[in-house]
Structure 1
Amino acid sequence: MSRNKTKTLRQFNDDDLKDKLIDLKVDLAKLRSEAIKGTLKKEAGVIRWKRRDIARVLTLMNERTGGKK
């Protein structure tokens, strides 16, 4: 899976960003479970990038709402 660039994420609408966030969280959960089981070999560094992509999406969502919840 390719990494998400901020430029491309800004083109998404709010619903697409929410869907992307859900997908990223599911992927992160799978990677963490594989890491705990010990079956995660090559993709050990991917967890860090997934977390950063999640933060990037959340930041964009907060920018659009003006920081209000």
Structure 2
Amino acid sequence: MARNKIKTLRQFDDDDLKDKLTDLKVDLAKLRSEALKGTLKKDAGVIRWKRRDIARILTIMNERVRGKKTQ
């Protein structure tokens, strides 16, 4: 899966962001379990990028919630 840019993530609606977030969390859990087993070889750096993509999505979702509260 390609890395997510903040500009493209902002174009998604809330439902798409939630779906993407759950997919990323599932992928991250699989990668972490492989890392614990020792079977994760060349994808070791992917964990960092998955975590950052999750943080990007959560940031966008929180910005939208805070924007709705102030209006």
- TM, length-normalised to structure 2: 0.92
Name the residue aligned to 2:45: 45
Name the residue aligned to 1:55: 55
Paired residue type of 2:36: I
Deviations 1:18-66 (A, max 9, x none): 0000000000000000000111000000000000000000000000000
Paired residue type of 1:63: E
Structure 1 position 64 matched with structure 2 position 64: yes
Higher helix share: 2
- TM, length-normalised to structure 1: 0.94
Q: Once superposed, which parts of structure 1, at least 4 consecutive aligned residues long, lie more than 6 Å away? A: none
Paired residue type of 1:5: K
Name the residue aligned to 1:15: 15
The percentage of counterpart residues that share the same residue type is 85
- What is the Cα-based RMSD across aligned positions, in Å? 1.2
Name the residue aligned to 1:28: 28
- Between structure 1 and structure 2, the one with the greater Rg is 2
Q: How many residues matched?
A: 68
Structure-2 separation of matches of 1:23 and 1:11: 18
5+ residue gaps, structure 1? none
